Amino acid sequence: MKPNEQIEQVVRTLSNSPNTVVVTGAGISTEAGIPDFRGPNGIYRQLGEDRVMNIINIHTFNQNPALFYDFYRQHFVLPPVEPSKAHYILAEMEKSGFIKGIVTQNIDGLHEKAGSRRVVAVHGNSEQYVCTNRHCRELYGRDKVEPQTSGVPTCEQCGSVLKPDVILFGEPIKHFTDAQDMIMSARTLLVIGSSLTVYPVAGFVKAFSTFYQDLIIINRGPTQLDHAALVKIDRPNTGETLEEIYYYLNRTGK
């Protein structure tokens, strides 16, 4: 289909769907200036996946938090960024009733910052740190923790080590059931900026595609489920694509 025909079909599908859920990956946040860690120039390629996995690992964190934090600060702590156009449009689509919620594989917190309310962040949120003492579990914003540029940050309440509130290798994902339930309860699934190679979310999307036909994918480059998609849009700018879709959705109504 030509791009305009693709947009028309997406608009028609979303406007008729009683329950659309969005799944987002790194591609939506690269437009906000956040690097894709698994991309061609990402840290996994530069340093080697094995090295990254061995350090950004719950066992390394528990046994040698100083080593963990030296590496984490150098490679994973990024300057604050603002949400991209795509993040803001998805928040507006939720307010307008065109989507019911978002399952994101990203840890940047940009969906929430843009105003989205129903967000399941399966890999956690790098905008906050959590006390590792299970009797305390105090949360701290990054503005409280990250000015400390060396050593291991500790909880002001109990003195225990703080951990970035993200899923490290060797940990189960957060909100597994919530993510699975949200995806499998949808009637239309809109995947944005993900090649669908990271599990278990990719598995949830694959399971959805075996039951329902209304899978829409917006991603630069191929994905693992292009063959199952009702529509696949491959464009360089996700924000502009969503802006066009939202424009026609507003004209069509819900």
Q: How far apart are CA 149 and CA 59, in angstroms?
A: 22
In 88-124, which positions are buried (b, 16+ CB within 10 angstroms) versus exposed (e)? bbbbbbbeeebbbbbbbbbbbbbbbbbebeebbbbbb
Q: How far apart are CA 169 and CA 58, in angstroms?
A: 6
The structure tokens listed for 112 are 């929430």
Tokens 């699934």 belong to residue: 189
Contact indicator for 190, 99 with CB cutoff of 8 Å: yes
Q: How far apart are CA 109 and CA 111, in angstroms?
A: 6
Q: How far apart are CA 230 and CA 63, in angstroms?
A: 47
Q: Can 59 be counted among the known catalytic residues?
A: no
Candidate list 87, 123, 135, 227, residue with the active-site label = 123
Q: Do the strands 162-166 and 124-131 form a parallel or antiparallel pair, or are they unpaired?
A: antiparallel
249's enclosing H/E stretch is helix 238-252
Residues 6+ apart with CB under 8 A from 253: 15
Contact indicator for 240, 248 with CB cutoff of 8 Å: no
Q: How far apart are CA 249 and CA 115, in angstroms?
A: 19
> Among all residues, which ones are annotated catalytic?
123
